[in-house]
Structure 1
Amino acid sequence: MTTVVARDRRDDTASASIAALVPRAQREISAAGPGPVTDCLLTLLRGPLVRYCLARIDPGRAEDIAQETCAAVFEALPRYRPTRADRPFRAFVYGIAAHKVADFHRVHARSAAREQLVRDVPDTVADERLPEEVVLAAERRAELNQLLSGLSPAHRTLLVLCVAEERSSVEAARILGSTPQAVRVRKRRALAALRAHAARTTATPPRGLPADGGRGGTDRAVVPCRDRARLAVRR
């Protein structure tokens, strides 16, 4: 009990000292830059800030976060104005410390998630295709790239959305900022342009493309999975 009372008295004394030093430090900074008064104020704040951080984050980083908080307090000190008479300056300081601690936890969680993702990704991706299939896939990809290169960017984007990614006209319209009806019309035109370009280059049209652009049933173009992946290369 005696220890608690003594600690409360020390805290009250420190709070009174800090409150008295704040206006003096502000005047000192505005007159000639930081000096002994400012240093004394930050020294009084550092101990409580380290204890505050130790209770909330990894002990190995507590002092660093406390130091960052002191730097932020120093930057904000010239602009500080008490919002309420009953709200001490230390409450303002602890508010800054709370933001620093929250930032630390946010960055730590993001880093942990990234490390977990890296651990979950296999070092190599197994490819069970035969060598002949790999060669044919490369040839097919080159053919599709050649076909798509002859289309306008608008037609190319639309075919990637509706064919390669199998998006509906409603989804494509939302992405393109258009209407489903307009997307269906543009998709039919894009498919017609693709076939015309294939005819001019004596290339074989991609297998699975609907003859009418998707009318008379679903508005999704049915394309083999490997062709959808190759078509997406041109997006």
Structure 2
Amino acid sequence: MAISTDHLVVRYGAGNAAVHDVSLEVRRGEVVALLGANGAGKTSTIHALAGEVPAAGGTVLVSGEKTSAPLHRRVRQGIGLLTEERCVFTGLTVRDNLRLGRGSVSDALDLFPELHDHVDRPAGLLSGGQQQMLALGRVLAARPSVLLADELSLGLAPVIVQRLLKAVRAAADSGVAVLLVEQHVHLAIEAADHVYVLRRGKVVHDGAAAPLRGAPDAIAELYLDRAEERAS
């Protein structure tokens, strides 16, 4: 197993837990979509896996070994993290942004040839889609064993989302383990092998992606809390 959680709990301060007893796993060569409504606990789960926030309970395992290491150490273990904020330095050129990564500039440009004509432009002058290609290319060029991608497509047009997910799928096919939080649910399910759905910080669905493709009613059912509906 490339990365997994066992009864994970994430809590911020003295408040209620954002994530309750979440167990999930991602294998090499697999895209796992982590879905759910806003506030379901998806980002908290990603941050705990990356070491950006500590687990308040349960465990995180990388390659089967328990870890409580912070983010910078997990990056050295092969974890690649892409947050929902576009991870680019807008005042630096595309080339210099790529040089800050752990991989080569040429490898990143091979992944996203759309950036070739912009390598000497400040990243701040790129479109939102180009900035996300830059961020994803920099992470993937480092050849991580695990990619944790949080809202890869935030604010982007579906055609750009498809391009980004194509690169993510190709990375998985080359052996990377991918955990993907994505607001474009149907596109995420098309790219994914497996799906977890969170509701109020708990896993309410754990299964293969294929049965959910082309099944909007089934997806909607997973997002809804029927007990709440009956009480309202």
Using structure 1 for the length normalisation, give the TM-score: 0.22
Bigger helix fraction: 1
Largest Rg, 1 or 2: 1
Determine which structure has greater relative contact order: mean sequence separation of CA pairs < 8 Å that are 6+ residues apart, divided by chain length: 2
Using structure 2 for the length normalisation, give the TM-score: 0.22
Bigger strand fraction: 2
